[in-house]
A = this chain, B = another copy of it.
Amino acid sequence: MSETINRPGRRIARPATVTLKHVAERAGVSPITVSRVINTPDAVSEALREKVGRAVEELGYLPNRVAGALASAESRVVPVIVPSLSNAVFIEVIQGVQEVLEVAGYQLLLGNTQYDLQREQDLAATLLGWSPAGVIIAGLRHTDRTRAMLQAWRRPVVEIMEHGTRAIDMNVGLSHYKAGDAMGEHLVSRGYREIGFIGGRLKADYRALHRYKGLERSLARHGLRRRPPFTHESKSSPQLGGDAFMRALDASPDLDAIFFANDDLAVGAILRAQREGIAVPKRVAIAGFNGFGIGELVQPSLTTIVSPRQQIGQIAANKLIARMQGRESGAASVDVGFTLRVGEST
């Protein structure tokens, strides 16, 4: 299956690939025509479609997307750059993006920054080298170079997860600050007065920090005590949530409610409380953020803020595709909002 080609100044052994040219020869048409049959079948006669289709079949031709991308200066690939894959939130967003991209014939190129903005910058540089049709990237916060790079790039960019002004191009997300504030209001309205916050890596996960800040604002509004967050450095998990919960109660026995940075932690706390015989919400109330299904099943069920995760991915992908296809994509910035889901835990 391998042939050696000899030409002046060149001698290479490449696997004998079936190319557009071979298909064209077989079908007795020009390569251009084959290209058309493949890319814009509607602009071509039925007879041609059939003739070329047969040649494609017989030769087992696989279009070389790389060559196509180089010639057209655009590939049907969309990088999705997220800070983490261990957080189910991003998985659901990716799912939403993937669903929509697939239907439109685009491929998803996965980038994981691990909450590191420098890594994000390197990743963005590499991924832009693929001439993608557009980019979806988590967050509004980037290095100056990343921003400059994406801004200078002349293709659609959607920043997701948080909603704000000053987006590079398009933006789909919600206000984490308002979400934290809303949870604060809920807890206060339920009569809780000694309210704490548990969350990890708040420097990197600044959206979680915004939720904390929102909570703080709400507490300040009611003249309640604002405590520093109980933090940790490992990635969130139910196990960690349970441990952090016990530590926090130990350190601050006066706490009567805890807002967790996410549902993973909060669900872990509820399960741990159950095991330890700590009454929730009687001894201490527990609240989360995300709205994962499991929160409705644990006992007591979890009060949490539901973010429309999959929807964020879908909207972002749809806006991207609209713009890539030259259609209008609606408002540049979309606030998808959030919902407070009150469970038994508060």
Contact = CB atoms under 8 A, between A and B. Distances in A.
A9 interface: no
A47 interface: no
Kindly list the 10 A-B residue pairs having the minimum CB-CB distance in the complex, ordered from nearest: A65-B129, A271-B297, A108-B110, A66-B69, A85-B95, A66-B70, A65-B130, A66-B131, A110-B110, A70-B70
Nearest to A237: B293
Copies in the complex: 2
A294 B294 contact: yes
A272 interface: yes
A127 B107 contact: yes
Interface in A114-141: 125-131
A242 interface: yes
Nearest to A73: B14
A85 B238 CA distance: 21
Contact of A110 (B15, B98, B129, B239): B98
A299 interface: yes
Nearest to A239: B293
Interface in A1-47: 1, 14-15
Interface of A: 1, 14-15, 60, 62-67, 69-70, 73, 75, 77, 85-86, 88, 91, 94-95, 98, 102, 107-112, 125-131, 149, 152, 154, 237-239, 242, 267-268, 271-272, 274-275, 293-294, 296-299
A11 B61 CA distance: 30
Nearest to A298: B271
A62 B128 contact: yes
Which among A67, A88, A297 has the highest number of chain B CB atoms within 10 Å?
Answer: A297
A1 B109 CA distance: 27
Contacts of A294: 238, 267, 271, 294
A60 B149 CA distance: 9
Nearest to A63: B129
B110 A297 contact: no
13 contacts: A1-B154, A62-B149, A64-B131, A66-B66, A66-B70, A67-B70, A86-B95, A91-B91, A107-B109, A107-B127, A108-B109, A239-B296, A271-B299
Contacts of A86: 95
A126 B10 CA distance: 30
Contacts of A102: 112
A127 B106 CA distance: 11
Given A91-B91, A154-B1, A297 B66 contact: no
